Structure 1
Amino acid sequence: MKISVIGCGYLGAVHAASMAEVGHEVYGLDVDSTRIATLGRGLAPFHEPGFDEVLSRNVDNGRLHFTTSYDDLDDVDVHFLALGTPQRDDGLGADLSYIDSALDALAPLLKARNGRTTLVVGKSTVPVGTARTIGERLAAIPGVKLVWNPEFLREGFAVEDTLRPDRLVYGVADTADAADEVELLDAVYAPLLALKIPRRVYNYESAELVKVSANSFLATKISFINAISELCDITGADVADVAEAIGMDDRIGRKFLRAGIGFGGGCLPKDLRGLISRAGELGAVDSFAFLRDIDAINTGRREYVVRLARRLLDGELDGRRIAILGAAFKPDTDDVRDSPALDIALKLYSEGARVKVTDPVALGNVRKRYPALHAEESVEDAVRNADLVLLLTEWPEYKQLDPTVLRELASDAKIVDGRNVLDLPAWRAAGWHVEALGRS
């Protein structure tokens, strides 16, 4: 089939390359000409394991094309909308201006083709009710249908999650009268459905809520165990033991119960706040008040680490040398949006600390977005002469660091394990004073 993906940021670029990988002819469109030129050469503009290979292979074999012109999409069967919906500057809600602009440009091209339905498929995360509004707009164009098909990508696993998702969700205007659009989207996803991946057809509103509900629930688990970790610090309990035991309950599960400095990135915080905002607009303020506490617990973890650093440095941050291990909001990505690690680094810098930041892949984005922070290519250079080390992103290579070697480099052997990944006995045996959040 001939497919377009409108919006070639993280979501759209991965989706476009993955749809080409399963055999479709794909046109990726974006207004950012520099990004399009980079993708058109088969080069990834961001770090994502496995994406480089899928991208370059399908550009080279001619199935994947990139453009800035909507005129190139005139003969397309299915258009995917993968536009960003960032948090608005004036509140918690989502900014839908990118979707609105794309629809304005796309609408004149939309038409039934040879008696077949032309399909528009929403991938973006939007406030509940958005798809119904867009669907009503598109319904005025004969032969054009809308399906909302939320994405469930994890950064670091995006290609795998696109090609082998744990479920496919279709949101349609009327589940009793959606045979044409369901059949057409099934044809797009035929290679995935052949793998027996579950597929569910709901109404628009249910499909929209699936994504934000999932992310808000995961955020709730993370903030819950982080709240418990603070009690553990006060009482002498070990949050790793508590998490292990409650995770054995199959009603709860072990995932997302590792205490630390909290979540960040472009999805969980935005989706959580977007759900809070939309619930308020719909009159469900009281029922969702707890999500504000979840958000507050998460952001409070960052200030908690700053207070801990201040205590470890005898109450004075001004002029103290601090090494930050990790800048990305999670490992296996160069994404620094709403990164807890960088938020902490900036707070320390604002209090006069001499901060050095290192990261295996995200330093380019650090230098671009936060030029005031001193970026170091190697852990050794970051740690050299440091009065305090903060491990804030759980990159595998940081878990494997030799504490004896680093002990010789640091001015003072003090480290905060902000992700609870270090072998505490080994580090302490090497002479380090280790503070692991929630651990006795």
Structure 2
Amino acid sequence: MKVQRICCIGAGYVGGPTMAVIADRCPAIQVTVVDLNQARIDAWNDSDLTKLPVYEPGLDAVVARARGRNLQFSTAVEESIASADMVFISVNTPTKTKGLGAGQASDLRWVEACARQVATAATGHTVVVEKSTLPVRTAAAIKTILEAAQEEGSSRSFSVLSNPEFLAEGTAIGDLEAPDRVLIGGEETASIDALAEIYGHWVAPEKILRTNLWSSELSKLTANAFLAQRISSINSIAAFCEASGADVREVARAIGFDSRIGPKFLNAGPGFGGSCFQKDILNLVYLCRHFGLPEVADYWESVVTLNTWQQHRIARLVVQQLFGTVTGKRLAILGFAFKADTNDTREAPAIRIARDLLEEGAQLSIHDPKVVEAQISRDLQLEPASETDTLSGTGSWTPATSIEAAVRGADAVLVLTEWQDYRHLNWSDLAALMRRPAWVFDARAVVEPAAVQAAGLRLWRVGDGES
């Protein structure tokens, strides 16, 4: 089987960059990314590459090379499906907010809608590839829908593969161009070989792993669960370091030299965020309970519980250090994205920390180099304040166009995202803009302690027992 045309349903954080790299590396294959969101498609097609809906370092260059040659972005969903040999499903699978499994199970309505649309619009033999992160055995539901569309005597037929993404936002292009592994789960050798051949244009054969469908689906959930577990583990040790006088960075360095552990994902901080970690662990929790494994479910649920605790802990610590109240006090928030080098704020630690401080009556001034004001409003479910009444006791926030604007008049600065912009600030100049006594709360351990303290500012760093 030779794939000549690919359609990807979903032009978001996974679909857009993944298809851009495939088109870039496979110029003979026509790749079309479809989405019903006209504004999003318009942004992908904008001649100004700074307006792409997804910010990833290097993405603009990849899109520039492939777009208009063999990479298209369109709202013509059914036409693109009909002409495709292979259809990737790359739509959102958020946690359900109501009904059976609310708060843990994945909401698969968009995946099912895609499967039904493929069943209706496809022609000939179509390979359907799960790219969204899905619960184990979701492929069975997709296959059932597709098989119902195979009328007797019809030339239409389908096969289903699982090809989970293992991208880290901020390094997604590098992860796609030089992946640790590519995982393909399926039952039909010809379809697996066809997808493997696409990746084989730039990925070494030994890095293309083949499994059954269920192992592939579970591998994605397990990978994210293990990574999130490391973050919660080091954050639990960070809290203990603060209480005992140890330094979590020294502890992490020491245990990272153990070849069985390694140094990655041992940076203490405000907790994990992003579109996958919490959602996937809660999905795993739900499935474990569904299959009668409550002890396993409780174990993985504790990873999420500790992550939430860490964020509440940081907010409480700010209140405690600022004489027990932040009502009417101006606090500068540096960083709102869940990590550096992305504009994604989904489950960002800054959201929960900011909400806690707003509940305490704080006046927040929020700066982030890539997150726009409208996104912050949506995440906080609060419009920015036009005027600030510090005596009202009601929390409010305003966007800051610069770091200096955020810090001016502030009682404290909270560094919540590890942007490069925040690593080498002139703290003497910033301190002159603040109200004394003033604090710096470094939840990412990116500032230079000596520079902060030399400026006459008090410093708290996550996991630092010496402060």
Aligned to 1:167: 181
C-alpha displacement at 1:196, in angstroms? 4.6
Q: CA deviation at 1:426?
A: 2.7
Secondary structure in 2 aligned to 1:237? Answer: coil
Equivalent position of 1:29 in the other structure: 34
**Contact kept? 1:302, 1:343, Cα under 8 Å:** yes
Q: Does 1:406 align with 2:406?
A: no
Change (3 A) 1:52 1:368: farther
2:459 corresponds to which residue? 434
| Superposed displacement of residue 99, structure 1 | 0.6
Q: Give the drift of 1:82.
A: 0.4
- Is structure 2 residue 425 aligned with structure 1 residue 422? no
Structure 1 unmatched runs, 5+: none
Following TM superposition, by how much is the alpha carbon of 1:403 offset from its aligned partner in structure 2, in angstroms? 1.4
1:191-340 matches, within 5 Å, as: 191-193=201-203, 195-196=204-205, 198-340=207-349
Alpha-carbon distance between aligned partners in 2 of 1:179 and 1:293, rounded to the nearest angstrom: 40
Measured in 2, the distance between the counterparts of 1:143 and 1:61 equals: 29
Which residue does 2:105 correspond to in 1?
93
TM-score by length of 1: 0.94
Preserved contact between residue 20 and residue 64 of structure 1 (Cα < 8 Å): no
Partners in 2 of 1:65 and 1:85 — Cα distance? Answer: 21
Deviations along 1:320-360, whole A, 9 cap, x unmatched? 11111100000001111111112211211121111111011
Aligned to 1:40: 45
C-alpha offsets along residues 265-291 of structure 1, whole Å, 9 cap, x if unaligned? Answer: 111111111111111111112123111
Cα pair 2:407 2:430 within 8 Å, conserved: yes
Q: What is the aligned-residue identity percentage?
A: 36
Residue number among 163, 177, 196 corresponding to 1:149 in the alignment: 163
Report the TM-score, using the length of structure 2 for normalisation: 0.89
1:102 aligned to which of 92, 111, 114:
114
Residue 118 of structure 2 aligns with an amino acid whose one-letter code is L
The match for 1:383 is 407
Greater Cα offset, 228-237 or 375-384 = 228-237
Q: SS at the partner of 1:380?
A: helix
Q: CA, structure 1 residues 50+197, in 2 after alignment: closer, same or farther (shift >3 Å)?
A: farther
Look up the SS of the partner of 2:429 in the other structure.
Answer: helix
SS of match in other structure, 1:192: coil
Structure 1 residue 18: deviation in Å? 1.5
Shift of 1:369: 4.1
Q: Distance in 2 between matches of 1:404 and 1:49?
A: 31
Give the whole-Å Cα distance in 2 for the aligned partners of 1:137 and 1:309: 52
CA–CA distance in 2 between the matches of 1:422 and 1:369? 26
Aligned residues: 431
Aligned to 1:123: 131
1:75 matched to 2:83? The reply is: yes
1:434 to partner: Cα distance: 0.5
Q: Give the distance between the partners of 2:329 and 2:455, measured in 1 at CA.
A: 23
Q: Distance in 2 between matches of 1:73 and 1:133?
A: 19
Kept after mapping to 1: 8 A contact 2:341/2:419: yes
Q: CA deviation at 1:294?
A: 1.0
Deviation at 1:197, TM superposition (A): 5.6
Bigger mean CA offset, 291-300 vs 55-64: 55-64
Matches within 5 A, 1:368-379: 368-370=378-380, 371-372=383-384, 373-379=397-403
Q: Using the TM superposition, name which of 9-18 and 391-400 deviates more.
A: 9-18
Match of 2:388 in 1: none
Matches of 2:54 and 2:339 in 1, distance apart?
A: 14
1:264 counterpart SS class: coil
Distance 1:309 1:63, change over 3 A: closer
* Matched residue, 2:64: 56
Distance 2:343 2:70 in 1: 28
- For the residues of structure 2 that align with 1:84 and 1:63, how far apart are their CA atoms? 22
Task: Please give the alpha-carbon distance, in whole angstroms, between the structure 2 residues aligned to 1:363 and 1:327.
Answer: 10
SS at match of 2:332: strand
Quick check: 1:166–1:197 contact (8 Å CA) kept in 2? no
Counterpart CA distance in 1 for 2:355 and 2:340 is: 20
Q: Which amino acid aligns with 2:164?
A: P
What's the offset of the Cα at 1:51? 1.4
Deviation string 1:221-244 (CA, Å, 9 cap, x unpaired) is 110111111111111111111111
**CA RMSD, Structure 1 to Structure 2 (Å):** 1.6
Contact 2:83 2:123 in 1 (8 A): no
1:65, 1:347 → 2: CA distance? Answer: 40
In structure 1, give the amino acid aligned to 2:197: A
C-alpha deviation, 1:59, in angstroms: 2.0
Q: In 2 relative to 1, CA 132–363 (structure 1 residues): closer, same or farther, beyond 3 Å? A: same
**Is the aligned partner of 1:84 residue 2:92?**
yes
Deviates more, 1:181-190 or 1:345-354: 181-190
Paired AA for residue 20 in structure 2:
A
> How far apart, CA to CA, are the structure 1 residues paired with 2:379 and 2:307?
22
Contact conserved, 1:33 with 1:68, CA < 8 A, in 2?
Answer: no
Q: What's the CA shift for 1:37?
A: 2.2
